[in-house]
A and B are shown apart, each in its own frame.
Chain A
Amino acid sequence: MSTTVQRRRPRAALSTWLRGGGLSTLVFLLPMLVIFGVFSWYPIVQAGIMSFQKTNLVTAPEFVGWDNFARVLGDPNFLIAVQNTGYFALLALLFGYPLPLVAAVLMSEVRRGKGLFSALAYLPVVVPPVVAVLLWKFFYDGRPAGVFNTIIGWVGIPPQPWIQNAMQAMPSLVLEATWAAAGGTVIIYLAALTSVPPELYDAAEVDGASVWQKVWFVTLPQLRGVLLITLILQVIGTSQVFLEPFLFTGGGPANSTVTVLLLIYRYAFQNSLGGNYGAATALSVMLALFLALLSLVYFQLTKRWSS
């Protein structure tokens, strides 16, 4: 074994390393080292460096200190983007957090045809996200003959402008995002519900607990871990929302749906003459620091709950 290798001469160490399979180990590590090196580790380091540089693709990058960060923080759109992203995350929690929990608890009590329920709940998740957004964009047609306007017309509600109105745009985006994602959360909760130890319910019944009391005092406390994890995952996900604002509204109307990621995209890629890569990386580094903090909490929690 390698622990018995004595350091007499370097050549002997090298040959024992070779004979011990050191080379074939390296061969197995090679795909990972190349792929992670070029497409993960290097760009991550580069992001940190570039956020302090002025980069155009013609001349050599030049260090500019905190200029990029100052540029981003001074952008009037920055505060708007942060607020909008926070608003999206908040609405997504209000729409999409309690609903799957209620659905999952009810579904776990279905005696026959449980598969049908979970298949129906998961179906929207299977629809490609881009298709879902484009489809809902058509649903949100603001004409009186639009799909949603026709439907709300049946109960006498006048036609709404939906995504064409600065007040209604963001809730409309969140509604679609919730439709597209809620099924996944339901399935996660269903899996978590089956791992609640049955003895706890037996014990609660011995104490004369009603169904409602069992939900409140046994099920929910047992789900606490999973609930916290989905909460953090959802916040991490919604902080990086891009697809909905990009495809539905392009950030409008009146900047009401500009999000942080959309702003990064605009800095880097919207100007055909070459993007402001410095500002884009500076903003993404700031976002990353915020998210890393969240994932650190998440990682600590999963470690605790799974041990």
Chain B
Amino acid sequence: MSRRSRPREEDDRSIVSTSDWRRPRIRRTFGALHAALLVLLVVFGLGPILWLAKSAVTTTQDTLRDPMALFPSGIDWGNLAAAWNEVHIDVQFLNTIWVALGAWAVQLLVATTAGYALSILKPRYAGILNGLVLATLFVPVVVLLVPLYLVIIDPPFIHTSLINTFWAVWLPAGANAFNILLVKRFFDNLPREVFEAARTDGAGSFRLFWSVVLPMSRPILGVISVFAIIAAYKDYLWPLLVLRDPAVQPLSVRLPTLQRAIELDVYLAALAISTIIPIIFFLAFQRVFLRSAGLGGAVKG
């Protein structure tokens, strides 16, 4: 990837130049187009989310009779409490956090140690291992579905089923070649002189990893963390297969089964609660999210 240094403010131009922009016709056209785009984004992008927020605190009757009306019979805050306390979304919520945290930790451990070994320690067989890791990028997860499921039922060495334990989601999450690729690339670009200096000062491999390499790799660890947590929050099919017991299910797996079991207003409140957390995260760390999303297209491969 050729990373362009951020251009200075006056260089930072786009298609329409400053002199174009002074012409009234262009000004008017783009002004109108931008206003139209903004309206479309609000209606189609924000609209469904706002509707969910509204319906989470509306009675079932109102939502069924006139879904677009604004609180004809008042606001019903009770839905949120009912979803949290009676339907016990709180359990699934905690499970979601556990699933995401564990998957994140396993991915970081595997990606950093492997990236370090393959990029900096570089044993003679590094090339072969690197190839084996990269090769898995070409294999879609679909292929793994059945054989991986059978591994989880009867894992090697321990031979006790991991079904209904978080390990069934955490461990396979670690086998992420894209992470290793990102970390290895980042390590490849770190200045070698620093490592030589640390080595002459008597630092061993572990010391070098912990005190020199890891502190230098914060940016790439941030990117991997964002990817890992988003992926864990979004995942559905795999946790559906291996987490059968509602007591260990994350939100994504539990919500569809709630649909028929509970009243509509509480159900919509549960959907709203599941959405609010990622939205808060997004608004708080917008820059990181958007940069990672842009990176997703630019860096892969």
Contact = CB atoms under 8 A, between A and B. Distances in A.
Given A32-B133, A211-B15, A240-B141, 17 more contacts: A21-B121, A24-B121, A28-B114, A38-B156, A43-B147, A110-B34, A111-B21, A119-B282, A123-B46, A127-B49, A135-B48, A150-B66, A184-B293, A187-B293, A192-B297, A202-B13, A277-B150
Contacts of A129: 234, 236, 252
The listed residue with most B CB atoms (<10 A of its CB), out of A35, A242, A299, is: A35
Contacts of B48: 124, 135-136, 139, 179
A219 B15 contact: yes
A210 B295 CA distance: 31
B296 A284 contact: no
User: What is the size category of the interface that chain B forms with chain A?
Assistant: 35 or more
A122 B289 contact: yes
Interface of A: 2, 21-22, 24-25, 28-32, 35-36, 38-44, 46-47, 50, 55, 57, 103, 105-111, 115-131, 134-136, 138-139, 141, 145-147, 150-151, 179, 183-185, 187-193, 195, 198, 201-202, 205, 211, 214-215, 218-219, 226, 229-230, 233, 236, 240, 242-243, 246-247, 261, 264-265, 268-269, 275, 277, 280-281, 284-285, 287-288, 291-292, 295-296, 298-299, 301-303, 306
Interface stretch (B35-43, B80-88, B188-196, B216-224): B35-43
B4 interface: yes
A44 B135 CA distance: 11
B146 A134 contact: no
Interface of B: 1-2, 4, 7, 11-17, 19-21, 26, 30, 33-34, 37-38, 41-42, 44-46, 48-49, 51-52, 64-68, 106, 109-110, 113-114, 116-118, 121, 123-124, 129, 132-133, 136-151, 153, 155-156, 171-172, 174-175, 177, 180, 204-206, 209, 233-234, 236-237, 241, 251-253, 255-256, 259, 268, 271, 274-275, 278-279, 281-283, 286, 289-290, 293-298, 300-301
A59 to B, nearest CB: 14
4 nearest CB pairs, A to B: A302-B301, A191-B294, A188-B297, A32-B114
Contacts of B44: 179
Contacts of A233: 297, 300
A137 B161 CA distance: 35
A277 B68 contact: no
Contacts of B150: 46, 55, 57, 277
Contacts, number: 301
B145 A134 contact: no
Given A25-B121, A123-B45, A191-B294, A303 B205 contact: no
B67 A123 contact: no
Nearest to B134: A299
B166 to A, nearest CB: 14
B253 to A, nearest CB: 8
Nearest to A137: B259
Given A121-B45, A127-B278, A39 B136 contact: no
Contact of A126 (B33, B153, B278, B294): B278
Nearest to B51: A147
A22 B121 CA distance: 9
A295 to B, nearest CB: 5
Contacts of A42: 147, 151, 156
Contacts of B26: 211
Contacts of A288: 139-140, 142-143
A130 B253 CA distance: 8
Contacts of A29: 113-114, 117-118, 123, 129
Contacts of A119: 282-283, 286, 290
Contacts of A195: 4
Contact of A109 (B11, B16, B124): B16
Given A191-B297, A302-B300, A131 B175 contact: no
A41 B136 contact: yes
Nearest to A35: B174
Contacts of A192: 297-298
Contact of A35 (B30, B110, B129, B255): B110
